[in-house]
Chain A
Amino acid sequence: MPKYLVFITVIGKDQKGIIARISNAVYKHNINIEDLNQKVMEGYFVMTMLADMSDSSMTIPELKKELSIIEKEMGLSIQVQHEDIFKAMHRV
């Protein structure tokens, strides 16, 4: 089955458990993590997670809804976007 790749991106204040909670949420829904990066940029904690949703029964809006609980509880900004938009904008 072809991969269905999405970027889960997080911006916010650095704190314990961000990656653990997001990883756990995606694991629960059979989403595979392909790549993970984190960094402090302009004073904010930033994380990008490339994940494959092809084995999951979840859709992007459903995953966003699930992650919005973590977003609210931890005071973060979490986005989920299909990889193609990054390919279009950053690769010729």
Chain B
Amino acid sequence: MEYSIEEVMETVKMTLYHNFDIRTVTLGINLKDCIHSDIDIFKSNVYDRVTDYGRTLVSEAGKLEEKYGIPIINKRISVTPVSLIVEACAEEDAPVQIAKTLDDASREAGIDFIGGYGALVQKGITRADALLIDSLPEVLSSTERVCAFLNVASTVSGMNMDAVIKLGKTLKEISNRTENGIGCTKFAVFSNAPEDNPFMAGAFHGIGEPDFSLNIGISGPGVVRSVVEKNRDCDLTALSEVIKRTAFKITRAGELIGRELAGNMNVPFGIVDISLASTTKVGDSVAGIVEMMGVEKMGAPGSTAALALLIDAVKKGGAMASGNVGGLSGTFIPVSEDSGMNEAVKAGALSIEKLEALTAVCSVGLDMVAIPGDTPAETISAIIADELSIGVVNGKTTGVRLIPVPGKKAGDYVNFGGLLGETYVMDVSTFSSRDFILRGGRMPSPITSMRN
């Protein structure tokens, strides 16, 4: 098979100059068969399973990085929702004990984050769910690598507002127990959470999944930005076509590496998540793509339309490239983890309200948003309810990762370090939503959910 020098160099330059990489390979592991009424045996089963497969994941992924010359940034594990596997344990601290086991096992295996410490409570809360939710401040302040999630709403069940009330308080407590509220960066709240999402903090191995599932998250904001830069003068129809072709190529690379890694590990290949995932590196930014498209600053009028065009083109190219597209497959617009988003907040171009609008058409949520530490719990709950309503009504996944930063007010700078990035605290409305939120109950599912 012959390749032109331009084709070969296009791939090489993507990696060398435009931060092309495989963002994450995440191995979903079923832990249901580790359950034991003796908590010590249970923990030992979990520890052995995670360390065994975690080590293999790290070493096999390293071999493919060398073979293809494409960096695989994160090697991670997601497990069966922990609330589910501790149901049979009498000990009230069973969730905490399992969290510590997962943390120790990940450290031992060289896995930086392990997801699945969470529960699906969109319709109601079991005893184990309640114990797990109550344990979140302790777990997120005392473990290093455990990521937590809660699914509190879905299109078919509506939204569990009692859980949402609880979450406002829980987030504040997590925040108060960790420096700069950093514990909250490891906790995502969802509506319509997918069972095969490879991205942290919200990854978990759903109950419809097999024993193992290798899921892969591509990246590529830098690559897409560079093709948009090269096509400054074309109209939006042509631009969409250019982005689609690029998305096809980067998804094919993800598909190739994912399938081969799954094969080498002798586990089933799950999905390719075609979300564009930004990093803190300058240029590897989704905001940067929108700005290159011609919007002066992310958040200015036109941003929602630009982002809608972007993700539509990415989905079309990605769907052509892989028969196994899944996970979130939207666009990430995390504020602290995307240097362009962060700059837009600093410049006053981007508000929480605009972020919410962006997520309505094209993205997966209010992500890595720092808010003032004195924001009332009910206001936090209300922001969550607003964002998740978008998911419930539109039949899509939306998520929230809010970080109330203790002692900080709007406009203050906060650095979470490393991949989590840095940001400016965003302004939150001071008008109260208390009486609405404290009504509690369950918001019924929308009529559009009745499809049978």
| Chain A residues engaging chain B, CB cutoff 8 angstroms | 7, 9, 11, 35, 37-39, 41, 46, 48, 50, 59-61, 64, 77, 79-91
Nearest neighbor of B260 in chain A, beta-carbon distance: A84
> When chains A and B are docked, how far (Å) is the Cα of A64 from the Cα of B10?
20
Chain B 53-69, CB within 8 Å of chain A: the 1/0 string? 00000000000001111
- Which of B1, B11, B16 has a CB less than 8 Å from the CB of A89? B11
Question: Given A11-B16, A90-B11, A90-B249, A85–B69 Cβ distance below 8 Å?
Answer: yes
Q: Is B12 an interface residue (CB 8 A)?
A: yes
> When chains A and B are docked, how far (Å) is the Cα of A82 from the Cα of B65?
10
Contact between A82 and B9, CB atoms less than 8 A apart = no
Nearest neighbor of A62 in chain B, beta-carbon distance: B66
**10 pairs, A vs B, C-beta closer than 8 Å:** A37-B4, A38-B5, A41-B5, A41-B9, A46-B9, A79-B12, A80-B69, A85-B70, A90-B11, A90-B249
B409 to chain A, nearest CB (A): 47
Question: Given A82-B68, A84-B256, A37–B5 Cβ distance below 8 Å?
Answer: yes
Question: Given A88-B253, A89-B253, A82–B11 Cβ distance below 8 Å?
Answer: no
Q: Is B255 an interface residue (CB 8 A)?
A: yes
Interface of A is mostly: strand
Query: What chain B residues lie within 8 Å of A77 (beta carbons)?
Result: 16
Contact between A35 and B2, CB atoms less than 8 A apart = yes
Contact between A9 and B1, CB atoms less than 8 A apart = no
Q: Is B123 an interface residue (CB 8 A)?
A: no
Query: What chain A residues lie within 8 Å of B68 (beta carbons)?
Result: 81-82, 84-85
> When chains A and B are docked, how far (Å) is the Cα of A35 from the Cα of B8?
12
Nearest neighbor of A89 in chain B, beta-carbon distance: B249
Q: CB within 8 Å of A: which of B2-30? A: 2-12, 15-16
B213 to chain A, nearest CB (A): 21
Contact between A60 and B67, CB atoms less than 8 A apart = yes
Q: Is B315 an interface residue (CB 8 A)?
A: no
Contact between B5 and A39, CB atoms less than 8 A apart = yes
Contact between A79 and B2, CB atoms less than 8 A apart = no
Extra contacts besides A81-B67, A81-B69, A90-B249 (15): CB < 8 Å: A9-B9, A9-B12, A11-B16, A37-B5, A48-B8, A61-B66, A77-B16, A81-B12, A85-B11, A85-B69, A88-B255, A88-B256, A89-B10, A89-B252, A91-B1
Query: What chain B residues lie within 8 Å of A38 (beta carbons)?
Result: 5
Contact between B7 and A86, CB atoms less than 8 A apart = yes
> When chains A and B are docked, how far (Å) is the Cα of A46 from the Cα of B153?
53
> When chains A and B are docked, how far (Å) is the Cα of A90 from the Cα of B5?
12
Question: Given A87-B1, A90-B3, A11–B66 Cβ distance below 8 Å?
Answer: no
Query: What chain B residues lie within 8 Å of A35 (beta carbons)?
Result: 2
Contact between B3 and A86, CB atoms less than 8 A apart = yes
Question: Given A60-B67, A79-B16, A86–B9 Cβ distance below 8 Å?
Answer: no
> When chains A and B are docked, how far (Å) is the Cα of A9 from the Cα of B1?
17
> Which residue of A9, A38, A61, A64 has the most chain B CB atoms within 10 A of its CB atom?
A9
> When chains A and B are docked, how far (Å) is the Cα of A87 from the Cα of B256?
10
Contact between B66 and A85, CB atoms less than 8 A apart = no
> When chains A and B are docked, how far (Å) is the Cα of A48 from the Cα of B4?
9
A48 to chain B, nearest CB (A): 4
Query: What chain A residues lie within 8 Å of B2 (beta carbons)?
Result: 35
